[in-house]
């Protein structure tokens, strides 16, 4: 089959599977090998040792499947239609959770969609080929793959950006032995903007397009298992799982359309998954964690990490309250 016709089929079937944005990239060695190696050598990955252990696999998408020729990449928006964090309540003892973790665990939701797409491809294309579905956990540099597939560019905050969709998107891939015409990459549209670098409270964005994960609030609250440096604690605000600051200030997220996938929406009417009560978390047991966070990506953080994060957030809110009181003359 003509590779261009195959790409047309892929795009049509992806939309049927509920995947609004899809592109294709060659499955081969990364053109940014030196950047990734230098990033690891600088220790910017922190305690995420799996990135170093699988570096060779990550630098060649073709190694994920024998005979791989193409990489089908999708971007599934999770922009919330309603943002409870923009409507503060009288209860100031609440934490903040990154938007991507508000709904059901995206690994399961997106994997089902991608598997549906892979199945439909096998049913539609009358030739033998192999596929492998990947969602986040596979040794693949996803944002680089998405940029190569024309789904956006990697911005100064190291997130994948698109002029229409912004950056609130989940990424997933199908590695395949099919020959598919690649999509055309888009150009960088960050321009002279430095809002993300200026807004990062911990200085994790050490330079445009370069992230030191060891200082990133998302890394500290989700991946870092040990105690957190006191200097960084004071800059974490009330974030208890992830951080959206560098995305919140990005101009391309101001008009991003809301997600159409219901599974990515908040579960429950009280917004606890977005703004959990900190004093309750400090006293959680394992059953409490499972009851509140089960079925979501928030299970990534252990009970000890949740308690640690909540304790830090409470201390920061208390300090903020003292400063506000002093400013008000109280």
The catalytic site residues sit at 136
d(CA 140, CA 124): 27
In contact, 171 and 160? CB cutoff 8 Å: yes
Alpha helices in the chain (DSSP H): 3-16, 33-41, 49-53, 55-58, 106-124, 142-148, 195-199, 217-222, 230-233, 245-248, 278-282, 286-293, 303-328
d(CA 60, CA 37): 13
Q: What are phi and psi of 99, to 5 degrees?
A: -60, -30
Q: Which of 207, 244, 250, 255 is nearest to 222 (CA)?
A: 244
SS3 at position 193: coil
Q: Name residues whose C-beta falls within 8 Å of residue 182's C-beta, 6 or more positions apart in sequence.
A: 24, 25, 26, 70, 148, 149
Q: What is the residue whose two structure tokens read 């190694």?
A: 63
- Joined tokens for residue 65: 């499947």
CA atoms within 13 A on the CB side of 123: 7
In contact, 313 and 236? CB cutoff 8 Å: yes
């Amino acid at each position: 089959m003509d590779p261009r016709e195959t790409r047309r089929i892929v795009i049509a079937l992806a939309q049927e599977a509920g995947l609004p944005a899809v592109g294709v990239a060659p499955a081969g060695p990364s053109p940014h090998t030196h950047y990734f190696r230098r990033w690891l050598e600088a220790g910017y990955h922190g305690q995420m040792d799996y990135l170093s252990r699988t570096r060779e696999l990550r630098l060649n998408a073709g190694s994920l499947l024998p005979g791989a020729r193409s990489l089908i990449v999708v971007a599934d928006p999770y922009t919330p239609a309603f943002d409870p964090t923009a409507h503060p309540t009288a209860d100031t003892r609440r934490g903040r959770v990154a938007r991507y973790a508000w709904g059901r665990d995206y690994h399961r939701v997106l994997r089902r969609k991608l598997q549906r797409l892979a199945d439909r491809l096998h049913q539609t294309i009358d030739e033998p080929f192999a596929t492998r579905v990947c969602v986040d956990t596979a040794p693949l540099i996803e944002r680089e793959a998405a940029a190569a597939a024309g789904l956006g560019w990697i911005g100064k905050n190291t997130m994948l950006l698109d002029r229409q969709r912004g950056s609130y998107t989940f990424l997933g891939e199908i590695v395949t032995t099919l020959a598919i015409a690649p999509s055309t990459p888009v150009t960088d549209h960050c321009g002279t903007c430095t809002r993300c670098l200026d807004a990062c409270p911990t200085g994790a964005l050490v330079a445009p397009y370069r992230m030191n994960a060891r200082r990133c609030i998302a890394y500290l609250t989700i991946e870092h298992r040990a105690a957190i440096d006191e200097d960084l604690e004071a800059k974490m605000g009330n974030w208890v799982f992830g951080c959206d600051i560098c995305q919140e200030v990005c101009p391309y997220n101001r008009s991003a359309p809301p997600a159409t996938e219901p599974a990515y929406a908040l579960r429950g009417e009280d917004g606890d998954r977005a703004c959990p009560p900190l004093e309750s978390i400090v006293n959680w047991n394992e059953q409490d964690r499972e009851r509140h966070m089960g079925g979501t990506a928030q299970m990534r953080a252990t009970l000890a990490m949740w308690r640690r994060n909540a304790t830090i957030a409470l201390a920061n809110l208390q300090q903020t309250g003292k400063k506000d009181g002093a400013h008000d003359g109280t």
